[in-house]
Amino acid sequence: MVKKDGRREPFDKTKIRSGIKKACEKRPISLEEIEQLVDRLESRLQESAEKEIPTTTIGEWIMKELHGMDEVAYVRFASVYRSFRDIGEFMQELQDLLKR
């Protein structure tokens, strides 16, 4: 994976799972559903023709999956992943979510 700052590191399934679990905490999403999401992500990475995939792409894939599963988990993940600079950016994301 290629990090936002250009560093490279191997795909870490445990780290990905941990981030998703935090976003899904106290939401009606089972551990099995989280594992399936992580497995789909890992399969998608393995099937990709790209040797290195930016973490931004991986984050977008995760957000798309979470959006379909639980909107609260999606917003939680997005708030950490996108590092909103202020409440205005966060509110814009919520407004966009409501429009969809």
Q: Could you read off the pLDDT of 43-68 as tens digits, one per residue?
A: 998 898 888 899 889 999 999 999 99
For residues 69 and 33, the answer to whether their CB atoms sit within 8 Å is yes
Instruction: Please tell me the predicted confidence (pLDDT) of residue 32.
Output: 98
Helices 71-81, 87-99: axis angle to 10 degrees equals 140
Q: Find the largest Cα–Cα distance for the chain.
A: 38
- 84-100 confidence digits (pLDDT tens): 777 888 788 788 877 87
> How is the chain split into domains, by residue range?
13-99
